[in-house]
Amino acid sequence: MSTTTNLNIIGLPRDVYKGLPTTLCAGCGHNSITNHLVKALYDFGAQPHRLAKMSGIGCSSKTPAYFVEQAHGFNGLHGRMPSAATGAKLANRDLLVLGISGDGDTASIGLGQFCHMIRRNVDCTYIIENNGCYGLTKGQFSATADAGSKQKNGKINDYAAIDLCGLAIELGATFVARSFSGDGKQLVPLLQAAFAHKGAAVLDVVSPCVTFNDHVGSTKSYAYVKEHDFALHAPDFIMHGKEIEVDYEPGTVQSIELEDGSHVLLRKLHGDYDPTNVMGALGTIHEARERGELVTGLLYVDTKETDLCEREHLSETPLAQLREEDLRLSREEFAKLTTPLA
C-alpha cells in the first residue's frame, strides 16, 4: 500500500468517496457535479456509513450511484424524493441526507414535495442538477427553461421559468445557493457549507445537457452560462475547529458562522451582498433576471431556524433504534386504557 495516499480528516482516502463509473453522456454537466461532490464529501470528512444518498428519477437522479459507493442509496420515484428523504431523516436523525434531483424532478412533477420539504425545513442537502430539460426522456423543455430559449429542434419555449432559488427563499428555505457545474471552485465550498447547515439546504446547480440542450439559443448551454454567470462572491469553507486565516483586505470578506461552528467566507466580487437579508436576496435574483444574468453564490442563509427533527423534539436516539420497552405501553398502562367500560 502506498504511504503517499492522502487521507482526509477522518482518515479515509479519496477513493472511498468515488462510486461506480458513470453511465451518463460524456461531457454531461451532471458528471462534473458528481466530481465536485466527491471532493466536497472527501474534504468535509463525511462518514460514508452515515450518508443517505437519495434521488428521484432522471439522468441527474442516477448520479448517487457514481459517488461514495459504500453508502446507502435510495433511487426512488420521479419527483417524490423529498418525502422519502423526510421519512429517512425522521427514522434516523443521525443520517447525513443528501438528495439529488433534476429540474424536471423538482420543478414539475415534484414541485409540491420540494415546497413542503422546505416548509418543514428537513435537515438535508438538496441539489437540483438543472439543465432546463428532461434529459432522460430526450430533451423536452422543463419548467426551468427560460422563456424564449430554443430547443434543439428549433422550438421556442413560451413559458416563464420557475426560479427555484427565488421560490425556495419565498417558502422560507434556510440555505439557498446557485452555482454552475463548471465552477468547482465555487460549488465545492458551497456544498460543504450545505452539509454543515442544519436544515434544508437547496443548491440549484446549472448543469448543461450536452446531448439535448447545449446549442445556440439555449440558455442552459455551457457557452451561455459562462457568458452570463454573475458570481456574487468567491466562497470558501472553513471546517469548525480550523483557524480562519484572513489575508484579505478588511471589509472585502463576509464570514458566516454555521450551526456546527464551521464558517463560510464570502470574498466579495460585486459590491456588498448580504446573504442573510431575504429582501436583498429576492431583489438580487429579480434584478439579475432582468439583466439576463445568472446570479450565482450563496444567495440566502438563516442559521437560527430550527429543523424538523428539532421542532418535533425527536429523541436523541434515532427512532429506528428504539425497542419494545421504549415503544409499548406497560402492562399496567395497557390494562388501564383497555378496561371494559372504562
Ligand X SMILES: Cc1ncc(C[n+]2csc(CCOP(=O)(O)OP(=O)(O)O)c2C)c(N)n1
Which residue ranges make up the site for ligand SF4 (CB under 6 A)? Answer: 24-25, 28, 30, 59, 131, 135-136, 209-212
Binding string, residues 17-56; x marks residues near ligand X by CB under 6 A: ----------------------------------------
Tell me the site size for another protein, rule CB under 8 A.
64
57 or 187: CB nearest ligand X: 57
Q: Which listed range, 30-38, 68-76, 284-292, 293-301, lies at the site for another protein (CB under 8 A)?
A: 68-76
Pairing of the two strands 233-238 and 229-231: unpaired
Backbone angles phi and psi of 89, in degrees to 5? -65, -40
88 or 298: CB nearest another protein: 88
Site membership for ligand X, residue 66 (CB under 6 A): no
Cβ–Cβ < 8 Å for 196, 190: no
Type of residue at 184: G
Binding string, residues 140-179; x marks residues near ligand X by CB under 6 A: --x-------------------------------------
What gap in Å lies between CA 311 and CA 315, rounded to an integer? Answer: 11
Residue 153 CB, nearest distance to another protein (Å)?
Answer: 28
Site membership for ligand X, residue 59 (CB under 6 A): yes
Site membership for another protein, residue 73 (CB under 8 A): yes
CA distances from 36 to 30, 86, 309 (A): 10, 25, 28
Which of the listed partners (Mg ion, ligand X, ligand SF4, none) does 78 bind, with a CB threshold of 5 to 8 Å by partner kind? ligand X
Residue 24 CB, nearest distance to ligand SF4 (Å)?
Answer: 4
Pairing of the two strands 200-206 and 124-130: parallel
Site membership for ligand X, residue 136 (CB under 6 A): yes
Our measurement of the distance from residue 176's CA atom to the centroid of its chain's CA atoms, rounded to an integer in Å, reads: 8
Cβ–Cβ < 8 Å for 37, 48: no
> Any idea which residue has 432559488 for its cell?
165
Pairing of the two strands 175-180 and 200-206: parallel
